[in-house]
């Protein structure tokens, strides 16, 4: 690798009129890319995509995963063969691809103080260098050598995930979709006045920047209210944390009521300063400058994927919120490129060859309900599972708690959960969880249930490597990475 770097440096300096520092920077970048490509070709490098909507627990799971691997002697990872077989030798954490380092230490500090890690607002990443002993084999003549696996992990706001389906929609199609899903009670109860205002607008009349900004800000408030109501299908997702003077306000657009009112010819011939034309341009720029770079830099590099789904929260929010989650998952999962990795694709453009769909925060229900939640999760993503299986992708469904916050106890003659809630220690009871998509009778049973927000368990001492309790995180690790430690 050093010889290639020197040769590349001399060639660039001789061929282009640039400084030696510039040459070395370029060569170093090219060398790093070549090195990572070789690692990928030799199955020594994996890019893991940890995906989930806002609130699904991505940041907490990544924090826990890093902690469990770095402190594997104290962790309970019995389902992860390298630990079970005493072959894991160490894990080193470093930055990834110029991204800000994933805030692992901050997350550990928050958990130790009884708080959850801060929700992700910006993209970050990390690289885990995992050192382990190989299993003896015929090719090694009984010797167990030492190998390394490089694990790339990227974290990003869950709201960004909601924008991936926009890549399949032009502005007109997005407007039609917006109004096709608007007629449910949760959306209408929060935005009826805004919807009436949007429907009264003439899309071919000129619009001032000030007027468009005012409408856009009303729309952002409406989308935020929808999220607080438990809805998931909210686009554009980045607007959920948009500020009036922030970057997103530079490209405001609104969904116009266009169905049956104007023909495509009338819209295309509208003045360039008309509301329709301005919104169409801003929508296209939003795709080009926000959504496409995110998809290209994050999802097109992923080899394996963990999709976190907060199934229990959507059940507790009611049938409309649950159905909205199903719609969101169906649209977003169509954006993922499932398919077997060949040697060439592994080097140039990886595709996902293994995916785990996992219900998160499973410590909110009793252990005898975990299988029901896992079955319900499989039903929620059945279309994506079938598409992945058709493309020869290894698919698993799981239920996981990155940090276990409850224990189960006997309470008034029945089993219950005990944990720290926002209002202090308490008992948590829940109805039976359906294994299939809920029936009307199931929704009647679930209606009185009030899911309480749990806090991390008290007394965690993690700065020095103390044990962080979890549920089946070792199974998730084995599902995603186990085959690379043979």
Q: Where are the domains of the chain?
A: 2-40, 41-159+303-317+340-485, 164-296
Residues 27, 5: contact at Cβ < 8 Å? yes
- Strand duo 45-52 + 146-155: pairing: parallel
Q: Measured between alpha carbons, how far is 439 from 249 in angstroms, rounded to an integer?
A: 42
313: CB partners within 8 A, 6+ apart: 55, 230, 361, 451
**CA separation for the pair 474, 77 (Å, rounded):** 5
What is the pTM assigned to this prediction? 0.86
Gap between the Cα atoms of 290 and 257, Å rounded: 25
Alpha-carbon distance values, 470 to 116, 239, 292, 427 (Å) = 14, 33, 35, 19
Enclosing H/E stretch for 479: helix 473-481
**CB 439 within 8 Å of CB 390:** no
Cβ atoms of 477 and 80 closer than 8 Å: yes
Listed residue (394, 396, 397, 296) closest to 340, CA to CA: 394
For residue 9, what are its two tokens? 């440096």
Q: Strand 424-428 relative to strand 45-52: parallel, antiparallel, unpaired? A: unpaired
Identify which of 283, 255, 271, 163 has the alpha carbon closest to the alpha carbon of residue 207.
271
Residue 184 phi, psi dihedral angles, 5° rounding: -130, 165
**Within 10 A of 107 (CB to CB), how many other CB atoms are there?**
22
- Cβ atoms 400, 348 nearer than 8 A: no
216 in Cβ contact with 249 (< 8 Å): yes
Distance, in Å, from the CA atom of 337 to the CA atom of 299, rounded to the nearest integer, reads 8
What tokens were used for 11?
A: 């060639």
User: Given the structure tokens 């979709």, which residue do they identify?
Assistant: 177
To the nearest 10°, report the CA torsion of 365, 370, 376, 380: 90
CB atoms inside a 10 Å sphere around CB 377: 21
Residue 341's contacts (CB-CB under 8 Å, 6 or more residues apart) are 303, 350, 351, 353
Q: State in Å, rounded, how far the first CA of the chain is from the last one.
A: 26
Q: What pLDDT sits at residue 392?
A: 75
Residue 19 three-state SS? coil
The pLDDT tens digits along the chain (486 residues) read: 444 445 545 544 554 444 454 444 444 444 444 445 445 444 589 999 898 998 999 999 999 999 999 999 999 999 999 999 999 999 999 999 888 999 999 999 999 999 999 988 888 999 999 999 988 764 555 556 899 999 999 888 889 999 999 999 999 999 999 998 887 788 888 888 898 899 889 899 998 999 999 999 999 999 999 999 899 999 999 999 887 777 888 899 999 987 667 777 888 888 999 999 999 999 999 999 999 999 888 877 888 889 999 999 999 999 999 999 999 998 888 877 666 555 445 455 567 788 899 999 999 999 999 999 999 999 998 888 887 777 778 888 999 999 999 999 988 888 899 999 988 898 999 999 999 999 999 999 999 999 999 999 998 989 888 899 999 999 999 999 999 987
How does DSSP assign 182-238, residue by residue? --SHHHHHHHHHHHHHHHT--TTSB--HHHHHHHHHHHHHHHHHHHHTT----SSGG
Strand 406-411 with 414-421, pairing: antiparallel
* Rounded distance between C-alpha atoms, residue 393 and residue 404, angstroms: 30
Q: What is the pLDDT of residue 243?
A: 79
Going by the DSSP 8-state scheme, the letter that residue 401 receives in this structure is B
Contact partners, residue 334, CB within 8 Å, separation at least 6 = 165, 168, 384
Which residues contact residue 22 at a Cβ distance below 8 angstroms, ignoring those fewer than 6 apart? none
CA torsion through residues 310, 129, 127, 112, sign: positive
Task: Write down the H helix ranges in 90-164.
Answer: 104-112, 158-161
Q: Are strands 124-133 and 424-428 parallel, antiparallel or unpaired?
A: unpaired
């Amino acid at each position: 690798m050093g010889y290639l770097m020197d040769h590349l440096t001399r060639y660039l300096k001789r061929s282009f009129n640039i400084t030696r520092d510039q040459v070395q920077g370029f060569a170093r970048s090219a060398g790093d890319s070549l090195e990572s490509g070789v690692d990928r070709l030799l199955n020594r490098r994996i890019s893991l995509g940890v995906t989930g909507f806002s609130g699904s627990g991505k940041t907490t799971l990544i924090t826990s995963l890093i902690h469990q691997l770095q402190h594997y002697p104290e962790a309970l990872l019995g389902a992860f063969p390298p630990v079970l077989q005493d072959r894991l030798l160490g894990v080193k954490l470093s930055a990834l691809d110029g991204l800000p380092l994933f805030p692992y230490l901050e997350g550990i500090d928050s958990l130790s103080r009884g708080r959850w890690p801060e929700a992700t607002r910006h993209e970050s990443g990390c690289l885990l260098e995992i050192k382990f002993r190989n299993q003896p084999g015929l090719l090694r003549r009984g010797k167990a050598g030492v190998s390394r696996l490089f694990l790339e992990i990227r974290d990003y706001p869950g709201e960004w995930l909601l924008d991936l389906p926009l890549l399949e929609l032009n502005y007109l199609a997005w407007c039609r979709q917006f109004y096709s899903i608007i007629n449910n009670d949760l959306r209408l109860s929060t935005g009826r006045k805004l919807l009436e205002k949007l429907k009264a607008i003439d899309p071919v009349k000129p619009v001032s920047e000030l007027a468009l900004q005012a409408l856009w800000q009303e729309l952002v408030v409406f989308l935020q209210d929808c999220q607080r109501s438990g809805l998931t299908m909210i686009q554009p997702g980045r607007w959920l944390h948009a500020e009036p003077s922030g970057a997103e306000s530079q490209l405001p657009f609104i969904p116009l009521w266009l169905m049956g009112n104007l023909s495509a010819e009338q819209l295309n011939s509208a003045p360039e300063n008309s509301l329709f034309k301005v919104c169409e341009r801003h929508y296209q720029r939003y795709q080009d400058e926000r959504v496409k770079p995110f998809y290209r830099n994050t999802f097109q590099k992923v080899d394996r994927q963990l999709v976190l789904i907060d199934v229990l929260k959507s059940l507790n929010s009611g049938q409309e919120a649950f159905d909205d989650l199903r719609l969101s998952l169906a649209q977003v999962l169509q954006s993922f490129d499932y398919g077997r990795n060949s040697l060439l694709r592994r080097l140039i453009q990886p595709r996902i060859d293994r995916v785990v769909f996992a219900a998160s925060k499973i410590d909110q229900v009793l252990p005898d309900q975990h299988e029901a939640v896992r079955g319900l999760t499989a039903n929620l993503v059945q279309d994506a599972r079938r598409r992945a299986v058709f493309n020869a992708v290894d698919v698993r469904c799981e239920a996981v708690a990155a940090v276990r916050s409850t224990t189960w106890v006997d309470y008034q003659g029945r089993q219950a959960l005990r944990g720290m809630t926002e209002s202090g220690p308490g008992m948590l009871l829940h109805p039976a969880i359906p294994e299939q998509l809920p029936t009307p009778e199931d929704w009647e049973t679930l209606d009185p249930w009030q899911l309480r927000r749990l806090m991390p368990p008290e007394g965690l001492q993690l700065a020095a490597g103390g044990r962080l309790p979890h549920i089946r995180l070792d199974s998730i690790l084995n599902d995603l990475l186990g085959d690379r430690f043979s």
